[in-house]
Structure formats: C-alpha cells, structure tokens
Amino acid sequence: MKRYTTEIIDAHIAIEAWLGRGEGDCAALMARFSDRFSMITPGGATLDKPALVNFFQAQCAARAGLSICVDDIELLAEWESGAALRYRETQQLPDQAAHQRWSTVVLDKDNGKLLWRHLHETALAG
C-alpha cells in the first residue's frame, strides 16, 4: 500500500505546486495520468486526458497560495496490474474556507510505474 499512498501524496504535492505557485513541469505532471484517463469531478462533469491537460495548462499559478492536504487513504482493492483507493482531499486558498472531497482512484501498473486511470471526486457535505 505504501507505493500507492506515496503516489497519491506526491501527485497532490505536484498539483499544489503547479496550480498554487506555477512550479514544476506540466509534462511530468501529465505523465502520471494514463492516456485512457477519465475523471468525474465533484460537480458531475467528466474529463478525459486531453481535457485534463487543457485544464492544467490554463490553470498554471491560477490559485495563488493553494494548499492541498490528503489523508485517510484506504486501499479498497488490489490486483496484479493495479489498485483502487479512497482518500480525503482538503483544498484551501488563503482567507477562504476549505473545500473537502472524497476521491476514489484506480491506479494502473505500467512497466513499473503507477498511472492514474480513473478518478471520481465527491464533495463532502457541508
């Protein structure tokens, strides 16, 4: 499980740096995601990898001071080529209320690397 936990935390560190400070390499960030990536956002929209790439390119440093915390990571299922995990994510901008969501991610193993295959986010009830 440590490998999966590390990937989830490291990905969110990179996302926080990119969105909050414009730091990092967008191509390296996008390399974490499978070409078959799909996502359901907290608002119910769906994204594929090209839409995710467009989002990150447009949002570089757009959320100054963003902090992202990931906790309560739980391995739901594991198989030879990947795993499904659930975690809680808290995002906060300076002087604003925090927003929390539960996320379920499917990670694929690909030549020794973990790739994000699917992500489903659900906002926590206020």
Q: Is 95 left (phi over 0), alpha (psi -120 to 50) or beta?
A: left
What are 69-91's pLDDT values in tens digits? 999 999 999 999 999 999 999 99
Alpha helices in the chain (DSSP H): 2-21, 26-30, 49-58
What does the pLDDT read at residue 126? 67
- Beta strands across the sheet bearing 82-92: 46-48, 33-40, 113-123, 99-110, 82-92, 67-79
Residue 113 predicted with pLDDT over 80: yes
Average pLDDT, the chain: 97
Q: Does pTM surpass 0.85?
A: yes
- pLDDT at 15 > cutoff 90: yes
pLDDT in the model for residue 1: 85
